[in-house]
A and B are shown apart, each in its own frame.
Chain A
């Protein structure tokens, strides 16, 4: 078991103008499952490869259990990695693929056999041990790739988007399988993905990266509920958070936010944190699930009504997404409502906004106003 510490990690590729990874720091606790989440090209895989020892580090350090491993080659770091393409050796059988790493480490053949068979049993691969990778389905290949990591019993697991080559249905089952395996084995893991559902469901903590930097780190729901900036607010959540231009004002001696001509109080917000933004433009963020067709009665005091027109209706089966344009500003919002709505294109209604759930951001810095 191991604690991984990444400190001020930077990566500048030869000939590149800007660093691919800049000043990234985090610690992954023993037995923790950390997810690095971000869009393509944000540097998350580069961080993973530097931890693995597959990519030279420009500056900063990677430590495992307090020992800096920068100069230690990949093969001596006792880390196993599952690749996006699975990276199964096509000329070897499943058994040989699983045993390849152990044989290099001069493990006794009887022990190799025992460990390979145990991993195969755990992952349901026993029947497939004599097959070659090209005779396996995507899900089976993925399990072999995981098995190859498991048999080595390493200190750290690294996963580089291991589910992104699977179809949607298989991805869900394999995701659950991975969660189960990690809980059973309990090895410290770092998992790279651009899929927020994977991040939310698998990670003990998630580290969201943007343009080579850490945008926010925390427990999944914590990050979802309190995004640190507009990037995280937009990136996490499907459909994403609505971000609208607004203004912070005082009305009758109390602070209010003004959005599309409507002013509403900000329950739960202390005046001291907001006071320096009074009289200034702000960005108001509201998640689609905090907008209603019919306001929930219990929270009536916090409800603000915004007159709007339905622009598009997207029935998803379990729920319906409405795209609405606000009458006052013509800004578009996405509203998540129940599947039984009778609203259709062109209908007018008052969107009910739960003002206790709004997020405020500084337009200059894009950071959250807390």
Chain B
């Protein structure tokens, strides 16, 4: 039975509030008048990564796991992200004439 140290209930509620606020920020960013696409997409992706990291670290307790466990999860998860950036950037560059 894994009884490793976990977050307290107060921390859980704190993470919940942070996730709710970040979600509201995302919706607000999309509805912000006059914002151009590039900063909006960058902001949305950063907000989503922050939210996903909060869930993984605190709700899935990765923060309290060993380094080996954290790397075991982080490396395979980051690989498709890098792959996606390269392939999607390539697809966009083919669409836009030079």
A and B pair up = no
Q: Which residues of B contact A (CB under 8 A)?
A: none
Query: Which residues from chain A sit less than 8 Å from chain B, CB to CB?
Result: none
